[in-house]
């Protein structure tokens, strides 16, 4: 029913697969833990990766500025890149006075966002897309329709300053969001997502526990699935979501997404290739705009059915699983408010 990337491989969730390469050194065979934080705001994505008991001669080869790539998933299921960036600081210490650890503090897009510089002029009649192309010294991923079709500048524009500042200016001019993910530039609006790739999440496909309704959409945890990316869509049945309780001075809460689709705006990964932790946590906002191809609008589950599900699943918590009332949910324009001034770590 849904177009899901990697669907042909199924959702086999055993035999974890992991690969970590730092500066050309593959250290995947050693114990590694990782915590990764990503969001669609203008600050660099962040990760802390710990490699245990690496030989001293190998540790000495790891330097700040080297590229790190981390891939994770399952042998017979989805496997792929979940983080790439540069080492900002390698730190050597000991855990419990026994195990030697190499801690890699890494950021994705830090060099471009904070250090790139543009000294160029675009001519009269140039478009926002021309500005983006002029300032893009790293690859582009998604440059949205609003940027591509934006109004031309009525006079020439001289640029002499940080490249990322001009992309932020374009995003403000076109009502879009600028961010860097996996080393690539994204400037996206509410309609700029892959409508043919919706990851369906339930207990059979890796959903862990019950998702929770938020002011702007949903928050949930699942097993690591590299198909879930920033600005991608996930589909979650509304009957599995714990409704947000009405707070003081509130009379209603936003309703669930009519078609169960939500756009991912924040991601964290936590994993241990020798331990139990192997999770993806995400926040997603109510999907706005045209309905993805192949996604049928699901009828709302009745309150009685939700109450019955709650009684059958005592582990789902104390939140009432009743459909929220009010509008069809917040529009994409809430995104700037959601992320404004937020350091998500």
Tokens of 293: 């191809």
Tokens of 325: 């009332």
252, pLDDT greater than 70? no
Tokens of 227: 């198909």
Q: Residue 166: in which H helix or E strand, if any? A: helix 163-174
CATH 3.55.50 domain range(s) in the chain? 113-188
Choose between 250 and 220: higher pLDDT: 220
Rounded Cα distance between 286 and 216, Å, is 6
Read off the pLDDT of residues 290-330 as tens digits, 9 standing for 90 and up. Answer: 444 444 433 333 333 333 334 434 333 333 333 333 333 33
pLDDT at 250: 66
DSSP 292: P
Read off the pLDDT of residues 12-65 as tens digits, 9 standing for 90 and up. Answer: 678 899 999 999 999 999 999 999 999 999 999 999 999 999 999 999 999 999
139, pLDDT greater than 50? yes
pLDDT at 237: 93
3-state secondary structure 302-334: CHHHHHHHHHHCHHHCCCCCCCCCCCCCCCCCH
pTM listed for this prediction: 0.79
pLDDT at 320: 38
Distances (CA, A) of 158 to 122, 123, 146, 153, 208: 6, 9, 22, 11, 51
In CATH terms, 113-188 corresponds, of 3.30.70, 2.60.120, 3.40.50, 3.55.50, to: 3.55.50
CATH 2.30.300.10 domain range(s) in the chain? 9-109
Highest average pLDDT, of 153-162, 254-263, 332-341, comes from 153-162
Instruction: Give the orientation angle of helix 128-135 with respect to helix 163-174, to 10 degrees.
Output: 160
DSSP 41: S
DSSP 128: H
Of the candidate ranges 8-22, 33-47, 134-148, 219-233, the one whose mean pLDDT is the lowest: 8-22
Rounded Cα distance between 223 and 227, Å, is 11
CB 109 within 8 A of CB 145: no
Residues in the chain: 345
CA 95 to chain centre: 30
CATH of domain 9-109: 2.30.300.10
Tokens of 309: 């599900």
Is 46 in a helix, a strand, or coil? strand
pLDDT at 11: 60
How high is the mean pLDDT of the chain?
Answer: 82
Tokens of 198: 């919706």
Give Rg (Cα) of the chain: 22
E strand residue ranges, 144-191: 157-162, 177-181, 184-188
Rounded Cα distance between 257 and 292, Å, is 13
Handedness of CA 28, 34, 37, 43 (dihedral sign): negative
343, pLDDT greater than 60? no
pLDDT at 287: 73
Closest CA to 85 of 183, 167, 5, 10: 183
DSSP 260: S
């Amino acid at each position: 029913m849904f177009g899901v990337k990697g669907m042909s491989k199924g959702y086999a969730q055993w035999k974890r697969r992991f690969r970590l390469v730092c500066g050309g050194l593959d250290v995947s065979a050693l114990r590694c833990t990782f915590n990764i934080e990503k969001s669609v705001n203008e600050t660099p994505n962040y990760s802390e990766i710990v490699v245990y008991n690496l030989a001293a001669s190998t540790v000495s080869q790891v330097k700040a500025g080297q590229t790190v790539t981390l891939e994770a998933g399952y042998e017979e299921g989805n496997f792929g890149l979940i983080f790439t960036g540069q080492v900002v600081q390698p730190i050597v210490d000991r855990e419990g006075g026994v195990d030697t650890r190499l801690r890699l503090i890494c950021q994705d897009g830090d060099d471009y966002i904070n250090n790139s510089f543009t000294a160029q002029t675009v001519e009269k009649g140039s478009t926002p897309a021309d500005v983006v192309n002029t300032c893009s010294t790293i690859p582009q991923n998604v440059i949205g329709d609003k940027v591509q079709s934006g109004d031309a500048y009525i006079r020439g524009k001289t640029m002499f300053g940080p490249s990322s500042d001009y992309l932020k200016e374009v995003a403000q001019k076109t009502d879009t969001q600028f961010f860097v993910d996996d080393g690539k530039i994204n400037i996206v609006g509410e309609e700029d997502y892959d409508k043919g790739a919706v990851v369906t999440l339930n207990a059979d496909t890796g959903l862990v526990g019950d998702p929770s309704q938020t002011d702007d959409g949903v928050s949930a945890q699942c097993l690591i699935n590299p198909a879930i990316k920033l600005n991608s869509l996930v589909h979650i049945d509304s009957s599995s979501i714990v409704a947000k309780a009405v707070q003081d001075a509130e009379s209603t809460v936003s309703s669930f997404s009519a078609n169960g689709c939500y756009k991912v705006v924040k991601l964290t990964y936590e994993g241990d290739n020798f331990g139990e932790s192997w999770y993806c946590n995400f926040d997603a906002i109510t999907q706005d705009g045209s309905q993805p191809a192949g996604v049928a609008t699901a009828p709302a589950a009745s309150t009685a059915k939700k109450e019955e599900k709650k009684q059958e699943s005592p582990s789902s918590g104390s939140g009432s699983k009743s459909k929220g009332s009010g509008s069809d949910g917040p529009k994409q324009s809430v995104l700037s408010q959601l992320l404004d001034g937020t350091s998500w770590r």
